[in-house]
Structure 1
Amino acid sequence: MYTIKTLNSISAAGLGRLSANLFRVDNDCEEPQGILVRSAKMHDMPLPGSLLAIARAGAGVNNIPLDKCSEQGIVVFNTPGANSNAVAELAVGGLVLASRNLAPALAWAAGLKGQGDAVGALVEKGKSQFVGPELRGKTLGVIGLGAIGVKVANAAVHLGMDVYGYDPYISVEAAWNLSRSVVHCVNLNDIITKCDYITLHLPLNAQTRGFLNGNTLASCKQGVRVLNFARGELVDNAAMLSALEQGKVATYVTDFPCEELLGVPGVVALPHLGASTPESEDNCAVMAAEEIADYLLNGNITNSVNLPNVSQPRAAGRRICVIHKNEPGLISAITAVTTQAGLNIENMVNKSKKEMAYTMLDATGPIGRDLEQQMAAIPAVVRVRIL
C-alpha cells in the first residue's frame, strides 16, 4: 500500500485513478511515497526520505525544487498537453481581444449605466473609438510549437491568418500535428519582423526569461499585438510598457497580471485563466495520478522533468529500478551485482537525462535481502527500488 499526499485540491477524476487496494490518500501523512501538487510552493518544504515521486497537475514545475529532488532520487512528473486545449482556446480568444479592443469597449459600455433611453444613441456615437482590424489576412507568429502552440497555430490557419511558427526543438509528434499551412521558420527574426501578431508558448528557463525585451520589441512591426499565455517572466515588462507608450506595440494581452501592468492603456490583463476549466483540471489530475501510480507500482517513468522517460512491459521475476548519476561504468557495476547474486537479467533498459540516469531491469533468481544495499553502495547510485 502506497500513501499519496495532496498539497492542493486535486480533481476527484484523478484521485479515482488511484486504486483503493493499492493506494491510500492521506493529506496528514508526514512520510508519503507520493505527492500530488498543483501550485503549492515546495522549495522550503522538507522532503521526507520516504518520498519517491512528485506529480505536478500542470506543465510548469517552478514551484518544485528539482535539483533537491534529483539529489534524493525523487522523480518529478508534469502533465504536458493535459491543459493544452484550455490554454489554446483562451489564446484564440486573446487574438480577438487584441484586435477588436473588447476590454476597453466593455468597460466603456458598462459606464453608460444610468443613461436610460440615451444609451442607444451614445453607443452609436462612441463605438468608433474601439474600431479594430479583422484577423483574416493578418500574419501571426507562434513562438513555441508544443502542444499549445500547435493548436493555436492550426486554429489561426482556420481563421484565415497567415501563420509562421518557430521552435528549434519541435518534437516529431508536434510536427505531425502542425498544419501544413504553417510556415516553419528557422530564424526567429523572420517572425519578429514580419508578423502583425505574436503569441508566446515557451517554457520559462534561464534562456527564455525576458525573451521579449527592448531589442526584440524594437525589431517588431509597428503596432504589433502581443499575446502571452505561457509565463509572465518571458516578457520584460519595462520594455513592454515603453513599447506600448511609443506605439510599437498596439496591445499586450497577458494572463499574468502584475502591479506595473494594471490599468495601463493597451494592456489586457487576465487573472491567470489559461487552465481554469473543469476539463483541464480533470485531465491534469488524471494524467498526474496515472504517472505517479505507474512509477510506484511498475517503475515506469513517463513525462518526468528531472529523469529520463523509461518504460517497458514487466517480464518474469522482480524489477530492479536504479536512479544514478550519468557516469561511465555504472551499468557494468549494476550488472556485476546481479551476476554475483546469481540473477538472470530477462529485460533491461538504461537512459540518461543530462547528469541523471535511470536503469531498470527485470531479473529472475533468488533476490536476497542485501541486494538493494549492495546496489545502493555503488558510487553514484542515488536510489534503488526492488519491486
Structure 2
Amino acid sequence: MIFRTTTSSVVLALCATMTSAIPIQQGTADTQKAIAEERLSVIVQAVQKVSPSVASVVVSGIQRVPIFNDPFYRDFFGLGPATTRRFTVQSGSAVMISSAGEFLTNQHVVGGADTIRLLLPNGESRLAEVIGTSPELDVALLKCNPEGMEPAQLGAAKNLLVGEWLVAVGYPVGGRRGLTEESRVRPTVTVGVVSALERSFVPSTRQQTRSSLFYPDMIQTDAAINPGNSGGPLANASGEVVGINTFILSDTGGSQGLGFAIPIERALKAADEIRTYGRVRRVNFSGLQFYRSISDEKAASIGLEEGQGLMVADPGIAGEAGLRRDDVILDVDRKSVRNFDDAQLALVPRFVGDQVTLGVWRNESRIELQLVLTEAQDQ
C-alpha cells in the first residue's frame, strides 16, 4: 500500500512537473522572440538600411601645411603663417545618392586632393573622380563605379521634428594605425536626436570649424560626430538621409554633443547644379548695397517700432523686382533680417532660379516684393 501510494505520488508529481514545464518552455520561447524583436528596433533597421550606401573617403595629395603655428611666437615676433608643401593623407565619409555611382560629401573633405579613393562596405577600394564642388556651400559630388552598391534612400530635413531620433553613419576612425583592414570597411554608427533646427553660423575666427563660410539653417544633433564623419549621412529613424554631417563645435576636437549637418535638400540642389553645369552657379546680387544699420531715431522717423532691418543704399539688380533706395528690408522669406549677417544667411543658400519674397518697409507700411534670382555673369 505504501509502495503503491508512493509510486502513485511519484507519478502524480512527475505528471505535475511535466505539465508545469510546458508553459515555462513556451514562455521562454515567447521571451526569446520578444527579445529578438526588441533588438531589431527601428534604429537598428535604419542603420541596416543606410549603412550599405556609405563609403570611406581617403584623400591624398600635396598640400600646404603650417610649419610654425605657435600663437605665442607668431604674435610676439610678428611672424606670418609660414607653410611648406607636404604629402598628406586624410579621410572622411560619403554617401551614395544615385545608381550612377554619385556620392555626396563635403568640399573640405576632398579639396586640394590629387587622388581620391572610396573604401566600400564590401571591402573594395575604388578610385573616384570629382564631378564638381561648391566651396561656398561646402558640398562636393564624386563618382565611382557603382557595382555592388545601392544608393541611400533620401528624406527631407524640412519634415524633421526637434527630439526625434537620428543616426550618424561614417568613418571617424579612418585609416588609423592598429585598425585591421576588415574593421576599416565597417562604418561607425552613433545615435542621437534632433537637438535643434535652423542653426546658422557666420564666419568667425573663433569657431573651430570652416570659419570663413556661412552655414545657414543647419541641423543640430547630439549624435557623436568626430573627425572623419564629415561628408557622411545623417539619417532619420526610417533610414532616410536628411543631412550631410559637416562639423562640430568642440573645445577638445572630439564630439561634445554639438554636431551640425547640411540639410539634404540644399546638398541635393547643389549636386543638381554640379551635375548640370559642373559648378554651382553664382547668384547675381550685383549693385545691391545696404547702410550699416538703422538708428532708433531713424526707425522712429519712418514709422518703424524698432530699429531693425536693413536700409537699402542701392537696390542694384533687385531694382528689377521693385526694390528702391531707402526701403528697409525686414525679412527674407519671412525670416527676420536685423543686420547684414542675417541678410547673408538668408541669401547664401539660394540658387539661380529661386524666387525670394522680400518683406519691405516703405511709406510706413509693410509690402512684399518677389525677387527671382538670376545668374551672375562675371565668372
TM-score, structure 2 length as denominator? 0.20
Report the structure, 1 or 2, having the larger strand content: 2
Report the structure, 1 or 2, having the larger helix content: 1
TM-score, structure 1 length as denominator? 0.20
Structure with bigger RCO (C-alpha 8 Å, 6+ apart): 1
Bigger-Rg structure (1/2): 2
